[in-house]
Amino acid sequence: MRLRTTLAAAVGALALLVSVPGPASAADGEFTYVYTDIAGKPRVGGVVDPGNWVCVTIPEAAGEYVPPAHTPRNHTTATALVFTGPDCDGDEYTLRPGGSASERLTLRSVVFFQRS
């Protein structure tokens, strides 16, 4: 009887471990943008396999005295919400998977979401 109870508990624990989701990314792919480096030259930066509903402040465009990034390209499988301010603040624009915008759309942060 004790072996049966122990076995049932072990099977139940294994089922719980298998059913608990681990950390997952919201999307596969890369989100790219153009930023200006300290020498004033344009460079391409990016976020690879972003997390779901995790605000990403663009490190190269986070400071108050640096220009914002621009020309976003959403090569992920998630929708991207780009923000004109850091910490997902300011005006918000939506880029669907595969979407892009011109250099007129400036950004300092982005968040990704994918509906399950």
Instruction: Give the model's pLDDT for residue 25.
Output: 59
Q: Looking at residue 116, what is its pLDDT?
A: 62
Domains of the chain by start residue, with CATH: 29-113 (2.60.20.10)
Contact 101, 67 (CB under 8 A): no
Buried b / exposed e over 63-80, threshold 16 CB at 10 Å, is: eeeeebbbbbbbbbebbb
pLDDT band at 94 (very low <50, low <70, confident <90, very high): very high
| pLDDT (0 to 100) of residue 11 | 41
* pTM higher than 0.85: no
Average pLDDT over residues 69-96: 97
Please indicate whether residue 64 or residue 77 has the higher confidence score (pLDDT). Answer: 77
For residue range 100-113, what is the model confidence (pLDDT) as tens digits?
999 999 999 999 99
Q: Rounded to whole angstroms, what are the CA distances from 60 to 70, 92, 112? A: 11, 19, 19
Q: How confident is the model at residue 78 (pLDDT cuts 50, 70, 90)?
A: very high
- Does the pLDDT of residue 87 top 60, yes or no? yes
Burial of 51 per CB tally in 10 Å (0-12, 13-18, 19+): middle
Give the tens place of pLDDT for each residue, 1-47: 554 544 444 444 444 333 444 445 568 999 999 999 999 999 999 99
Q: Rounded mean pLDDT of 42-59?
A: 96
